[in-house]
Chain A
């Protein structure tokens, strides 16, 4: 019989091959993976792909529409569209979404007929402002200010406040007019869900190997425990990365800076593989592994949920292991940032991936030794 101790890579490759074969025959995980992929792709394409930053304002009497539009343009309020209405009832219906075929507006300004005359003669004027329930509070405030400003303009009185050129000094990157559509904001979340699904599959595979003691059959051959764990890590990373790449392919998301995107994905795949090693070592069966996996992974999803809302993430969110991966994914795919620009996030992601993988390695090595 021809035999020679195989090289370490050959041993690892043999175990990876076996693991992939086992995975491909696990109907539950194959079905879950396929379902997740299809579901995420469908969700992605159903989400709106643009952000409408224009606020439609209705005004009565209709003759003042052009004056308000001019005021908005003068103030650089490019996101304001003013529509004139003949009477207050139709304006109210347009705001309430009950306009029968007519235009709909988010804000309605009901000015009295003699508005111009009364303002010009410095008489008190009552203006009613109608707003759609979904209009943010700050926009409501802005509308009442706009009415006051309009009144001042029509009366010929100067504004009591002088603002410097440009009105507002933006600190940091100005995203006005460049908001990410929901589809783009959800993309990292969907990618991370795919990574998580694959990590649960790997954890289940590991738990069943430990429980059935097939690991013992491997470690009495020339394969070391290190070869076994390397193979598990490689299998997990391959599965997670391939699924995430497939999702990006199906959602035509290879946009922005592709090398940075791939690097972020790779680090994410290593991170979730490390978690799979940890949860697979701790779990005793399918249900306990699933429970532990979800318990570990819920906190990791928080940074992706935080991306859905404007503003900076809290400090506690920024220290979560997945924060760097997700920020790098967004930076690379949505804003086209390169590896160098994303170094802080990629470094954080790499450090967490290395730490979690090392912990997973340690946990599984202990488990195999006791099997």
Chain B
């Protein structure tokens, strides 16, 4: 059976509607709803045990929700699981690779499982910076190389939905940058990307929108900028050398109509040394909203 692309371009690529899941009597996901458009990167943020991994397992068809509905590319995941699994790419948090197989053998194996007939494994490995190590066995790969191979494996079927669980966790800057570049390219090509990460800077840089999840519930869903503006503190820190030679530091709150005047006053009365914005980070926003950190 040839795989079809069942939805139109306007249908959300991922649509999660009031989804719940329980491990016995413990409810891990409690009425979660969100959407991800084609070409969008959604950062899925939350502390350990917030329900991120459970949500990912439901989105990849490993778990069936106890309530609610998940649609991928306009089709019900519960009813069209196999067809939809052929259209998604998944990168797990664990480095679940076969140490005795080479990079090329990994890609060929997963291409067979996806029914891909014309895989260009060399090009795919080139994309993630593993072109020269493709024939080597994974046992000899570094952590960063393994992670890049996992990204390549997730792309083997040219997915329309890409689900990435902590894709750059603990990686060196070069590997992390390579991975971010690939994710961005996929999104630009129309792929919907859902990414979980603990790295607030990465979420800020990569994600078009960010979803905060805690205790199985969605707390906020907006662009990083929108969240920071809505929930973060906005202020400017000014350092001035006074006539007496003393250095004074002044913090100007930017809330209110008189912000510009306050800032102008703060810079007067001495030699202006530095001005720094005290922009809130996503972590600040998260802590303010949930009362707990992301660790």
Contact = CB atoms under 8 A, between A and B. Distances in A.
Interface of A: 1-6, 10-11, 14-15, 17-18, 21-22, 25-26, 212-214, 216-224, 369
Given A4-B1, A5-B82, A212 B109 contact: no
Contacts of A218: 113
Contact of B100 (A5, A26, A216): A26
Contacts of B92: 213, 216-217
A21 B116 CA distance: 20
B153 A217 contact: yes
Contacts of A2: 116-118
B114 interface: yes
Contacts of B105: 18, 21
A3 B117 contact: yes
Nearest to A2: B117
Interface in B137-189: 137, 153, 157-158
Secondary structure of the B contact surface, majority rule: loop
A17 B108 CA distance: 11
Given A26-B100, A213-B94, A217-B92, A14 B112 contact: yes
B8 interface: no
B62 interface: yes
Contacts of A4: 1-3, 115, 117
Contacts of A26: 100
B90 interface: yes
Interface string B102-138: 0001000110111111100000000000000000010
Question: Which range holds the interface residue count of chain B?
Answer: 20 to 34
6 contacts: A5-B3, A6-B112, A18-B98, A25-B101, A221-B157, A224-B82
A273 B61 CA distance: 28
Given A4-B3, A6-B113, A14-B112, A222 B82 contact: yes
B86 A14 contact: no
Contact of B96 (A3, A15, A22, A214): A214
Nearest to A224: B82
Contacts of B33: none
Interface of B: 1-3, 60-62, 82-83, 85-86, 88, 90, 92, 94, 96-98, 100-101, 105, 109-110, 112-118, 137, 153, 157-158
B157 A217 contact: no
Contact of A14 (B1, B2, B109): B109
B96 to A, nearest CB: 4
The 5 closest A-B pairs by CB, nearest first: A14-B112, A221-B113, A25-B100, A213-B96, A2-B117
Contact of A217 (B2, B3, B96): B96
Contacts of B3: 3-5
Given A3-B115, A5-B82, A14-B113, A220 B90 contact: yes
B94 A221 contact: no
A21 B101 contact: yes
A230 to B, nearest CB: 14
Scoring B83, B96, B105 by chain A CB atoms within 10 A of each residue's CB, the highest score goes to: B96
A21 B108 CA distance: 13
Contact of B98 (A14, A214, A219, A220): A214
A22 B137 CA distance: 11
